[in-house]
Structure formats: C-alpha cells, structure tokens
C-alpha cells in the first residue's frame, strides 16, 4: 500500500470516491499543494493514475505546482482504477462478487485484458464506508460483519496501513473476501488448524490455511518457497511486515491454494489457468516441470527458479538446454511459442520465449540466465503489461 497523505479540505467535501488504484480511496476531491509536491507524488499518494490526474487538472508532465495550489483528485464516477496485475477474476475475488456480473457490467468477456489506470464499474452490492476518527480495520470489519482480512484485501491494505478520517473504503460483498471458505456466519476466519475447512462447491480456486511453527533459520522468503506461495501472502495472512522479526516456536498462518482441474478441448491441450490466482500456485518457485513445444511435441525439463509477473525458468541440464535451443531453430530468440507445462500431474497451457537473460540459479546447464514462460493473464516484468504474443500462444495451447 502506498503512502497516504492527510489532506486539507476546501469548501464542500466531494461525494465519496468509489475506488482508487484498487486501494483505499479518499473522500475529498481537492489536494492542497505543499512545497516539493509534484503531480507524480500526488498520484502515488492518492493511488490515481498519473495521466488521469493530469487530464483532470488540464496539466501535462512539465506543469509546475505551487504551494497552496488546489489540485483536483479524480473520484466520483471513476470507479475502480485498475492496477498492475489486476484481472476481472482477481477483482471479483477481492470484492467477493460474481465474475460474470462484473464482466457484464463492464461490457467485457473472459478474454478482455485490463490495463493499469483503466476505470471499471463495480456492482452496487460493493458498498463504501467513510472512515471516522478513531476507527480501525477491526472496528469497520465488525460493523459490517466481515473479516478484517477480507476488508484489507479489498482495499489492498495491510496491518500497517494508517486510516484517516474521510477515507473511503470498499466493503466487499457477503461474509468474506471470497478467498476463505465461510466459517459459520460471523465473518471471521477460524483459527488455523491445518486444512480442516470444508472446500466450497464449484470450480473456483479457494484458500485454506495451515500452521507453521517457526524453526531456527526460517525467514519469510524460505517459507514462501517451502509452501509454494509468494512470501508477501504469508506476511498479509499474519499482519506482518518484511522487517518483522520472527521467533523460534512462533505460530504462523500459511495460505494453502486449491486450484481445481479445468476441462480442455482435448488431450493435447493444456488447462487455461489464470496466472495470478491459479497457475503460479500449481507451478510454484523451486518446482521442476516438463515443457513440451506444442508444434513439434519436443520436450525438455526445467525449473521455475523465480518470477512474480510470470515464471522465470531455467533448463535443468545441458541436454535440456540443447533440446530447447533446437526447438527454436538452433539459436536463442525472444520469439514466442505455445507450450504445455506438465507439473504435479497437470498440463497447463503456456507460452515460452528462448532468450537467456538476467539472473541465473542453476549452474553448469549451458544456459546463461533464465527464459520466460507466460500463462493466462501474466504480464511483463518491465511494465506490468500483458504480452499480446504470449497471450495469443497461451490461448492456442489451450485450444481457444
């Protein structure tokens, strides 16, 4: 969650903002410039796309701000402002609304791609709350009968997020965020006791929790690798920060992602799994897989060694490297090809390029760096945007 700046209200406070950058929004439509402020800084404080902010104030990238100047913060009618990595599925899960309803409301379909800064509508069932003096996440969540965790997730907040009077927060629909199965009506996730929760019906991914007892040498990164989840999810599940010190014997909640198997058009195709909510958990960091070129049927072995926006992958051996190179005609290339990733007994539709670059973890494999493997709705590291070529090949590998 980015820095949130206290604002000075001028005249009448504007009607409440529905959303800003998928995070906590502010009710006021005016920001009073302080020395050192820039449009970029203001956009970060309020979670508003810089271009949207400039347009709202008739400004451009070279416009100068003066202390005491009033800057309009776009709000009413702007809806949910998409941030990097958002998909309709992720937004529907954060707000606990039906994805089909969200798609219909925005004239979109399952293949629609979202872009950072784009504004989309939310169903009327998603309420907003104006923060009052002295309120906390716990107080607000209890007032609406939801869990504190679901409230934080809906607003991209954490235990360290500061609440100020006048903020507007999303109140997700129902008794939870959509990630945690219901626990009996009070909206609070039950104390973690392994994976005792009953799975929800349907074919949507869901999360349960297990408990880890901290051992000597544990850190958040190693625990993320051990349990196959991004370490930030462990931080969020426990209301912790990166610099929090953990102690031997301490109990930590660990998210466990359950990704149902999806049907494919035929045996040669892979499951079309969303990267953010499905694929990254089926193929976690540190796990080996067999990659098969869709066109030739040639396979090689590889390991996902890192990667957040997509999978950063390395061949296991020199033989795997040579096999892969032959698939791309004997030379390394950024050109994309549809592939099938086989891991944990599942076949996932994906797209790979074959250019060694950046960090390397596996030594003596004849491959200087890693290569990229993209899945449905994954994005580039450099700008957080989807690659059209990769997305095209992913769908091809899924028979779409």
pLDDT tens per residue across span 120-135: 888 878 887 777 777 7
Segments making up each domain of the chain, as ranges: 1-180, 206-258, 275-397
The confidence score (pLDDT) of residue 74 equals 63
According to DSSP, the residues that pair with 206 across neighbouring strands are: 258
352 pLDDT band (50/70/90 cuts)?
A: very high
Question: How far apart are the C-alpha atoms of 80 and 186, rounded to whole Å?
Answer: 28
CATH architecture of 275-397: Roll (2.30)
The confidence score (pLDDT) of residue 176 equals 35
Topology at the third CATH level for domain 206-258:
Membrane-bound Lytic Murein Transglycosylase D; Chain A (3.10.350)
Question: Does 1-180 match 206-258 in CATH topology?
Answer: yes
Among residues 53, 109, 117, 125, the alpha carbon closest in space to that of 83 is found at 117
According to DSSP, the residues that pair with 299 across neighbouring strands are: 292
Expressed in angstroms, the distance from the first to the final Cα of the chain is 36
CB 110 within 8 A of CB 70: no
Tell me which DSSP letter residue 195 carries: S
Interaxial angle between packed helices 231-238 and 220-227, expressed in degrees from 0 to 180 and rounded to the nearest 10: 110
pTM above 0.75, yes or no: no
**Range with the lowest mean pLDDT among 191-200, 275-284, 382-391?**
191-200
Topology at the third CATH level for domain 1-180:
Membrane-bound Lytic Murein Transglycosylase D; Chain A (3.10.350)
Instruction: Read off the pLDDT of each residue in 261-270 and give the average, rounded to a whole number.
Output: 90
Question: How far apart are the C-alpha atoms of 40 and 25, rounded to whole Å?
Answer: 17
DSSP H stretches of helix in the chain: 39-46, 50-56, 88-95, 99-105, 137-144, 148-154, 220-227, 231-238, 280-282, 318-327, 388-397
Question: How far apart are the C-alpha atoms of 396 and 45, rounded to whole Å?
Answer: 41
At 335, phi and psi to the nearest 5?
-60, 140
Among residues 58, 95, 94, 91, the alpha carbon closest in space to that of 74 is found at 58
Per-residue buried b or exposed e for 59-87, using 16+ beta carbons within 10 Å of the residue's own CB? eeeeeebeeeeebebbbeebbbbbbbbbb
pLDDT tens per residue across span 294-325: 999 999 999 999 998 999 999 999 999 999 99
Question: How far apart are the C-alpha atoms of 294 and 300, rounded to whole Å?
Answer: 12
Question: Would you say residue 387 has pLDDT above 50?
Answer: yes
DSSP assignments along 385-400, one per residue: ---HHHHHHHHHHTT-
At 167, phi and psi to the nearest 5?
-65, 150
CB 80 within 8 A of CB 40: no
Comparison of pLDDT for 45 and 138, the residue scoring more: 138
Question: Would you say residue 392 has pLDDT above 80?
Answer: yes
> For residues 126, 128, 129 and 130, what is the CA-based torsion angle, rounded to 10 degrees?
180
Helix (H, G, I), strand (E, B) or coil at 312: strand
Comparison of pLDDT for 280 and 88, the residue scoring more: 280
Q: Where are the beta strands (DSSP E) in the chain?
A: 25-26, 30-32, 70-72, 80-81, 119-120, 127-130, 167-171, 206-213, 251-258, 288-293, 299-306, 311-315, 333-343, 346-354, 371-374
Instruction: Read off the pLDDT of each residue in 208-226 and give the average, rounded to a whole number.
Output: 90
Q: 302 to each of 234, 267, 268, 357, 370, how far by Cα in Å?
A: 26, 22, 20, 15, 10
CB 347 within 8 A of CB 330: no
Q: Identify how many contiguous H helices and E strands the chain contains and give both numbers.
A: 11, 15
Quote the mean pLDDT of the chain: 78
């Amino acid at each position: 969650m980015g820095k949130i700046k206290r604002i000075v209200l001028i005249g009448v406070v504007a009607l409440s903002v529905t959303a800003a950058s998928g995070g906590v929004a502010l009710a006021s439509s005016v920001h009073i410039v302080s020395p050192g402020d820039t449009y970029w800084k203001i956009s970060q404080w309020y979670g508003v796309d810089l271009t949207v902010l400039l347009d709202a104030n008739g400004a451009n990238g070279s416009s100068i701000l003066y202390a005491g100047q009033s800057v309009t913060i776009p709000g009413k009618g702007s809806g949910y402002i998409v941030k990097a990595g958002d998909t309709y599925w992720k937004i529907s899960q954060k707000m606990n609304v039906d994805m089909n309803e969200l798609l219909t409301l925005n004239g979109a379909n399952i293949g629609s791609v979202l872009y950072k800064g784009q504004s989309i509508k939310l169903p009327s069932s998603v309420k907003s709350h104006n923060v009052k003096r002295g309120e906390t996440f716990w107080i607000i969540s209890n007032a609406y009968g939801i869990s504190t965790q679901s409230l934080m997730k809906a607003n991209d907040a954490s235990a360290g997020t500061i609440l100020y009077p006048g903020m507007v927060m999303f109140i997700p629909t129902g008794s939870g965020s959509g990630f945690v199965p219901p626990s009996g009506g009070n909206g609070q996730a039950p104390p973690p006791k392994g994976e005792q929760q009953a799975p929800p019906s349907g074919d949507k991914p869901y999360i349960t929790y297990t408990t880890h007892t901290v051992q000597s040498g544990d850190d958040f990164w190693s625990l993320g690798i051990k349990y196959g989840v991004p370490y930030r999810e462990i931080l969020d599940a426990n209301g912790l920060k990166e610099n929090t010190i953990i102690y031997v014997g301490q109990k930590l909640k660990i998210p466990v992602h359950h990704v149902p198997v999806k049907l494919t058009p035929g045996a040669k195709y892979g499951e079309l799994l969303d990267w953010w909510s499905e694929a990254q958990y089926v193929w976690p960091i540190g796990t080996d897989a067999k990659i098969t070129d869709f066109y030739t049927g040639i396979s090689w072995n590889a390991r996902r060694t890192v990667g957040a926006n997509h999978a950063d992958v390395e061949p296991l051996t020199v033989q795997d490297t040579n096999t892969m190179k032959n698939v791309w005609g004997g030379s390394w290339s950024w050109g994309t090809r549809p592939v099938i990733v086989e891991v944990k007994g599942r076949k996932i539709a994906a797209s790979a390029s074959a250019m060694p670059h950046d960090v390397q973890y596996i030594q003596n494999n004849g491959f200087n760096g890693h290569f990229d493997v993209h899945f449905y709705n994954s994005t580039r590291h450099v700008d957080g945007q989807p690659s059209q070529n990769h997305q095209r090949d992913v769908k091809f590998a899924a028979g779409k």
